[in-house]
Amino acid sequence: FDLKSVIRQVAAIYKPLAAESGIGFSLILDDSLKDGYIGDGERIKQILNNLLSNSLKFTKAGKI
């Protein structure tokens, strides 16, 4: 799976939600991330969704 693509997909969901809450959101991907990883991309997406959801839930001010 393409890790960069998975990260961008999840970030695209949470960036507008962060903006609605008045929380800054930035995504910086390191150039050293490779394109092809072997594994369960959907599971990684689920983990990232959980992390970002909790970040929004528990961040009252600032940015994620």
What six digits make up the tokens of 7? 């990260």
Is residue 51 domain-resident? Answer: yes
pTM comes to 0.87
Is residue 13 domain-resident? Answer: yes
d(CA 32, CA 46): 23
Q: What digits encode the pLDDT tens for the residues 11-28?
A: 999 999 999 999 999 999
- Domain span at residue 14 reads 3-58
**Residue 11 and residue 3 in contact, taking contact as beta carbons nearer than 8 Å:** no
State how many domains the chain has: 1
d(CA 37, CA 20): 33
Is residue 64 domain-resident? Answer: no
Q: What digits encode the pLDDT tens for the residues 35-54?
A: 899 999 999 999 999 999 99
d(CA 31, CA 46): 23
